[in-house]
């Protein structure tokens, strides 16, 4: 059975999230929290279409102010950059550890040079 993808546009009302699903005419529902949205949408979609709830896949799209969206986008970009930097730093640490070990340093000395435990140095060398 193929999954029918639904987009749940969630906009915050007074105490509730108001949910609109453009793929199904008339599908409007509400939920107290964003975590409840997929279940509420699947239930309503099943009632309106006669299809089983399991046949729907729901993507929740919160409607938020543009200023907040800009902050979220900037934060995601920075998190991605940080992840790339951590990956590069780890690779450079591995290369340094291996070169230090190849030059004759003990695992404990490699750890001391890198500022990590000898156990971590051993992991980097391996």
Condensed to tens digits (0 to 9), the pLDDT of residues 51-88 reads 999 999 999 999 998 889 899 999 999 999 999 999 99
- The range of the structural domain enclosing residue 94 comes to 68-125
Shared-domain flag, residues 10 and 56: yes
The pair of three-digit structure tokens given for residue 3, joined into one six-digit string: 């999954």
Shared-domain flag, residues 49 and 9: yes
Beta carbons of 41 and 93 less than 8 angstroms apart: no
Q: Which of 13, 44, 63 lies at the terminal end of a domain, its last residue?
A: 63
Phi/psi of residue 70, nearest 5 degrees: -60, -40
Residue 67: alpha-carbon gap to chain centroid: 21
Domains in the chain: how many in total?
2
Shared-domain flag, residues 30 and 16: yes
> Rounded to whole angstroms, how far apart are CA atoms 126 and 119?
11
The CA distances from residue 123 to 63, 75, 117, in Å, are 45, 32, 10
Q: How confident is the model at residue 1 (pLDDT cuts 50, 70, 90)?
A: low
User: DSSP secondary-structure letter at 55?
Assistant: G
Shared-domain flag, residues 32 and 14: yes
């Amino acid at each position: 059975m193929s999954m029918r993808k639904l987009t749940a546009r969630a906009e915050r009302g007074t105490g509730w999230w108001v949910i609109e699903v453009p793929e199904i005419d008339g599908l409007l529902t509400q939920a107290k929290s964003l975590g409840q949205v997929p279940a509420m949408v699947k239930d309503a979609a099943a009632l309106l279409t006669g299809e089983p709830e399991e046949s729907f896949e729901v993507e929740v799209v919160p409607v938020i102010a543009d200023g907040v969206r800009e902050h979220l986008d900037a934060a995601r970009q920075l998190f991605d950059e940080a992840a790339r930097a951590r990956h590069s730093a780890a690779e450079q640490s591995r290369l340094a550890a291996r070169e230090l070990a190849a030059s004759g340093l003990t695992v404990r000395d490699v750890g001391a040079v890198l500022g990590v435990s000898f156990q971590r140095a051993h992991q980097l060398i391996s």
